[in-house]
Amino acid sequence: MLHLSARRVGSLLARRATAALSTSSARMASHDVAQAADMSQPMYWDRLDTPLPDKPFKDVLTAADKSLKQKEKGPWSQLTKEEKIALYRMSFCQTYPEMKQKTSEWKTVIGGMFIFLGFTGLVVWWQRIYVYPPHPRTFDEEWQAKQLKRMLDMRINPVEGFSAKWDYEKGQWK
Protein backbone atom coordinates (compact mmCIF):
# COMPACT_ATOMS: atom_id res chain seq x y z
CA MET A 1 0.00 0.00 0.00
CA LEU A 2 2.70 2.42 0.94
CA HIS A 3 4.83 0.92 -1.72
CA LEU A 4 4.93 3.43 -4.59
CA SER A 5 5.94 2.52 -8.07
CA ALA A 6 8.64 4.59 -9.66
CA ARG A 7 6.15 5.98 -12.21
CA ARG A 8 3.79 7.28 -9.57
CA VAL A 9 6.58 8.84 -7.54
CA GLY A 10 7.76 10.56 -10.68
CA SER A 11 4.34 12.03 -11.42
CA LEU A 12 3.92 13.13 -7.82
CA LEU A 13 7.21 14.96 -7.88
CA ALA A 14 6.32 16.59 -11.19
CA ARG A 15 3.00 17.85 -9.77
CA ARG A 16 4.80 19.22 -6.73
CA ALA A 17 7.24 21.11 -8.90
CA THR A 18 4.50 22.74 -10.96
CA ALA A 19 2.64 23.61 -7.79
CA ALA A 20 5.76 25.33 -6.51
CA LEU A 21 6.13 27.29 -9.75
CA SER A 22 2.53 28.43 -10.33
CA THR A 23 0.99 29.01 -6.88
CA SER A 24 1.33 32.28 -5.00
CA SER A 25 0.54 30.77 -1.64
CA ALA A 26 2.68 31.35 1.41
CA ARG A 27 5.63 29.10 1.87
CA MET A 28 7.97 29.03 4.83
CA ALA A 29 11.45 27.61 4.47
CA SER A 30 11.27 23.84 4.19
CA HIS A 31 7.55 23.82 5.12
CA ASP A 32 4.73 22.74 2.92
CA VAL A 33 2.67 25.35 1.12
CA ALA A 34 -0.27 26.77 3.10
CA GLN A 35 -3.37 27.57 1.13
CA ALA A 36 -6.45 29.42 2.28
CA ALA A 37 -9.50 27.53 1.06
CA ASP A 38 -12.42 29.76 0.16
CA MET A 39 -15.48 27.63 0.72
CA SER A 40 -18.09 30.35 0.11
CA GLN A 41 -20.85 29.87 -2.43
CA PRO A 42 -20.81 32.33 -5.29
CA MET A 43 -23.44 34.99 -4.76
CA TYR A 44 -24.67 38.14 -6.40
CA TRP A 45 -24.53 41.59 -4.78
CA ASP A 46 -25.00 45.29 -5.56
CA ARG A 47 -22.26 47.09 -3.58
CA LEU A 48 -20.72 50.47 -4.25
CA ASP A 49 -17.33 49.47 -2.93
CA THR A 50 -17.09 45.97 -4.49
CA PRO A 51 -18.08 46.37 -8.14
CA LEU A 52 -17.81 42.82 -9.47
CA PRO A 53 -19.90 40.11 -7.80
CA ASP A 54 -19.11 36.40 -7.87
CA LYS A 55 -21.78 35.67 -10.44
CA PRO A 56 -24.00 37.56 -12.89
CA PHE A 57 -27.47 38.63 -11.90
CA LYS A 58 -29.40 36.56 -14.38
CA ASP A 59 -28.54 32.89 -14.05
CA VAL A 60 -31.14 31.50 -16.34
CA LEU A 61 -30.88 32.95 -19.81
CA THR A 62 -33.67 32.80 -22.34
CA ALA A 63 -32.91 31.95 -25.93
CA ALA A 64 -32.95 35.66 -26.81
CA ASP A 65 -30.52 36.36 -24.00
CA LYS A 66 -28.23 33.63 -25.17
CA SER A 67 -28.16 34.92 -28.72
CA LEU A 68 -27.38 38.40 -27.41
CA LYS A 69 -24.52 36.97 -25.40
CA GLN A 70 -23.19 35.44 -28.61
CA LYS A 71 -23.44 38.82 -30.33
CA GLU A 72 -21.52 40.33 -27.42
CA LYS A 73 -18.54 38.20 -28.40
CA GLY A 74 -18.21 40.20 -31.59
CA PRO A 75 -17.28 43.87 -31.95
CA TRP A 76 -19.22 45.98 -29.46
CA SER A 77 -19.66 48.85 -31.91
CA GLN A 78 -22.30 46.68 -33.58
CA LEU A 79 -24.43 46.50 -30.46
CA THR A 80 -27.34 48.94 -30.23
CA LYS A 81 -27.87 51.04 -27.14
CA GLU A 82 -30.81 48.91 -26.03
CA GLU A 83 -28.76 45.75 -26.47
CA LYS A 84 -25.96 47.18 -24.37
CA ILE A 85 -28.45 48.06 -21.67
CA ALA A 86 -30.00 44.59 -21.88
CA LEU A 87 -26.56 43.01 -21.52
CA TYR A 88 -25.84 45.20 -18.50
CA ARG A 89 -29.13 44.23 -16.87
CA MET A 90 -28.28 40.55 -17.48
CA SER A 91 -25.06 40.90 -15.49
CA PHE A 92 -26.21 43.44 -12.90
CA CYS A 93 -29.42 44.25 -11.08
CA GLN A 94 -28.86 47.96 -10.33
CA THR A 95 -26.81 50.68 -11.92
CA TYR A 96 -24.51 52.85 -9.84
CA PRO A 97 -26.91 55.82 -9.76
CA GLU A 98 -29.66 53.43 -8.66
CA MET A 99 -27.45 52.09 -5.85
CA LYS A 100 -26.60 55.61 -4.73
CA GLN A 101 -30.18 56.81 -4.82
CA LYS A 102 -31.23 58.47 -1.60
CA THR A 103 -34.12 56.98 0.33
CA SER A 104 -36.76 58.77 2.38
CA GLU A 105 -35.82 56.79 5.46
CA TRP A 106 -34.65 59.90 7.27
CA LYS A 107 -38.16 61.33 7.16
CA THR A 108 -39.49 58.25 8.93
CA VAL A 109 -36.72 58.43 11.53
CA ILE A 110 -37.09 62.14 12.28
CA GLY A 111 -40.86 61.89 12.22
CA GLY A 112 -40.85 58.96 14.65
CA MET A 113 -38.43 60.86 16.89
CA PHE A 114 -40.73 63.89 17.03
CA ILE A 115 -43.74 61.72 17.71
CA PHE A 116 -42.05 60.18 20.71
CA LEU A 117 -40.76 63.56 21.90
CA GLY A 118 -44.24 64.98 21.56
CA PHE A 119 -45.73 62.09 23.47
CA THR A 120 -43.17 62.59 26.21
CA GLY A 121 -44.11 66.25 26.31
CA LEU A 122 -47.75 65.34 26.76
CA VAL A 123 -46.88 62.98 29.59
CA VAL A 124 -44.80 65.68 31.32
CA TRP A 125 -47.59 68.21 30.92
CA TRP A 126 -50.13 65.80 32.42
CA GLN A 127 -47.77 65.13 35.32
CA ARG A 128 -47.38 68.83 36.01
CA ILE A 129 -51.13 69.21 36.35
CA TYR A 130 -52.13 66.00 38.11
CA VAL A 131 -49.07 64.68 39.93
CA TYR A 132 -46.78 67.49 41.12
CA PRO A 133 -47.41 69.00 44.57
CA PRO A 134 -48.00 72.77 44.82
CA HIS A 135 -44.94 75.05 44.60
CA PRO A 136 -43.25 76.06 47.88
CA ARG A 137 -44.00 79.68 48.79
CA THR A 138 -40.43 80.64 47.90
CA PHE A 139 -41.41 80.43 44.24
CA ASP A 140 -43.92 83.27 44.49
CA GLU A 141 -43.11 86.34 42.40
CA GLU A 142 -42.77 88.55 45.45
CA TRP A 143 -40.52 86.12 47.27
CA GLN A 144 -38.30 85.67 44.21
CA ALA A 145 -37.96 89.45 43.89
CA LYS A 146 -37.01 89.80 47.57
CA GLN A 147 -34.61 86.89 47.22
CA LEU A 148 -32.96 88.51 44.23
CA LYS A 149 -32.56 91.79 46.13
CA ARG A 150 -31.12 89.93 49.10
CA MET A 151 -28.62 88.14 46.86
CA LEU A 152 -27.48 91.48 45.46
CA ASP A 153 -27.28 93.02 48.93
CA MET A 154 -25.16 90.08 50.12
CA ARG A 155 -22.90 90.50 47.07
CA ILE A 156 -23.37 86.88 46.01
CA ASN A 157 -20.74 85.98 43.36
CA PRO A 158 -19.45 89.57 42.95
CA VAL A 159 -16.39 88.77 40.80
CA GLU A 160 -17.77 87.42 37.54
CA GLY A 161 -21.11 85.96 38.51
CA PHE A 162 -24.42 87.21 39.78
CA SER A 163 -23.64 90.49 41.54
CA ALA A 164 -20.99 91.38 38.99
CA LYS A 165 -23.76 91.91 36.47
CA TRP A 166 -25.58 94.49 38.61
CA ASP A 167 -24.57 98.13 38.43
CA TYR A 168 -24.72 99.23 42.09
CA GLU A 169 -24.34 102.93 41.27
CA LYS A 170 -27.12 103.10 38.76
CA GLY A 171 -29.31 100.49 40.46
CA GLN A 172 -29.88 98.43 37.31
CA TRP A 173 -28.51 95.45 35.44
CA LYS A 174 -25.41 96.19 33.39
Partner 1 sequence: MAHPSQLGFQDAASPVMEELLHFHDHALMIVFMISTLVLYIIIAMVTTDLTNKYILDSQEIEVIWTVLPGLILILIALPSLRILYLMDEINDPHLTIKAMGHQWYWSYEYTDYEELGFDSYMIPTQDLSPGQFRLLETDHRMVVPSESPVRVLVSAEDVLHSWAVPALGVKMDAVPGRLNQTAFVASRSGVYYGQCSEICGANHSFMPIVVEAVPLEHFENWSSLMLEDA
Task: Specify the stretch interacting with partner 1 by CB under 8 A; choose among 6-14, 33-41, 57-65, 146-154.
Answer: 146-154
Give, as ranges, the residues between 79 and 118 that touch partner 1 (CB under 8 A): 100
Out of 138, 169, 171, 174, the residue judged to bind partner 1 by CB under 8 A: 138
* Dihedrals phi, psi of 107, to nearest 5 degrees: -65, -40
Half-sphere exposure of 25 (CA within 13 A, CB side): 12
149 forms part of the interface with partner 1 (CB under 8 A): yes
Least CB distance to partner 1 at residue 163 (A):
9
37-45, 83-91, 108-116, 136-144 -> range binding partner 1 (CB under 8 A): 136-144
Query: Residues 99, 48: contact at Cβ < 8 Å?
Result: yes
Q: Does position 136 bind partner 1 by CB under 8 A?
A: yes
Q: What share of the chain is helix, strand, coil (3-state, %, to 5)?
A: 50, 5, 45
